Amino acid sequence: MKKYKLLLFDLDDTLLYSDWFKEGLIQTLREHPLTKSLDAALFLEKKLRVPSHLIEKLKNREFTPEEFRRARWIYAFSQFNMTPDDDALTEIEKQFLQKGLACITQDPSLILLLKELRNHYKLGIVTNALYDPRQKVYKMGLSNVFPDKTIFSAEELGLRKPDREFYHAPLTYFEVHPEDTIFIGDSWIHDVAGAVDAGMDAIWINSRGAVPTTSHSPYAIVSDVKDIRDLLLN
């Protein structure tokens, strides 16, 4: 295979599955005085089904990530005819984040894989994550693999995948060219099409059997991030 120098990873649903979000939200809903009488599973469903007009506002920079997070809460509560004030929403989100982060566990096999990859490549994370990626990385036991400076966050940089500039930001830090880089992630648009358009190769983590929506061609398609071992370490 071609000799690459840099591996850039998406975070959510690539290195970290979304169980933490679901478990943290349900725990919060069941314990908070304002929400403990609600159907937690139904609220989670409403929270996950974000209306397209809210997503478009985030994409178009009409919402900051913080405003988008707040709008998601307001929308979900509106489905139950509830209008919590700002203080209540802030308290609930804080509790949710504490509960959710506590649900993140370490995966020894993932840690081992990434440490092995680090012996052969430079590693970084490029994420649109709505919640602090460094806290997640710490809870995953990966802070030694991904030091703070190697984690590139949309909220911090004011960019979002698939903005071309966002893919190029880590290249400047690592002093690597696009053609020497593979982007690894679960989103066809953000982690394959956007990366390829930025001059990189891509590995698609397609765990759900999704169908590509453009004609871009990834370097490889796998069903789990751990499947990249055979591609990148042999």
Mean residue pLDDT of the chain comes to 95
pLDDT tens-place string over residues 134-150: 999 999 999 999 999 99
Residue 234 has pLDDT above 90, yes or no: no
What does pTM read for this prediction?
0.93
Q: Measure the CA–CA gap between 150 and 148, rounded to whole angstroms.
A: 5
CATH of domain 6-16+105-232: 3.40.50.1000
Question: What ranges make up the beta strands (E) of 76-142?
Answer: 122-127
Mean pLDDT, residues 159-171 taken together: 94
Mean pLDDT, residues 217-223 taken together: 96
Residue 187 has pLDDT above 80, yes or no: yes
Q: How confident is the model at residue 3 (pLDDT cuts 50, 70, 90)?
A: confident
Q: What pLDDT does residue 37 have?
A: 94
Closest CA to 14 of 116, 102, 142: 142
Could you say which DSSP state residue 17 is in?
-
Q: What pLDDT does residue 1 have?
A: 58
Domain spans, the chain: 6-16+105-232, 19-102
Q: Enumerate residues 6+ apart whose C-beta is below 8 A from 126.
A: 8, 9, 10, 152, 161, 166, 167, 169, 170, 183
One-character DSSP codes across 95-109: HHHHHHHHT----HH
Q: Measure the CA–CA gap between 146 and 21, rounded to whole angstroms.
A: 21
Q: What pLDDT does residue 196 have?
A: 98
Mean pLDDT, residues 59-68 taken together: 91
Residue 75 has pLDDT above 80, yes or no: yes
Residue 80 has pLDDT above 90, yes or no: yes
pLDDT tens-place string over residues 84-100: 999 999 999 999 999 99
Mean pLDDT, residues 6-14 taken together: 97
With tokens 């698939």, the residue in question is 162
Q: Is the separation of the CB atoms in 29 and 35 below 8 Å? A: yes
Q: What pLDDT does residue 2 have?
A: 66
Q: Measure the CA–CA gap between 45 and 56, rounded to whole angstroms.
A: 20
Q: Measure the CA–CA gap between 209 and 89, rounded to whole angstroms.
A: 36
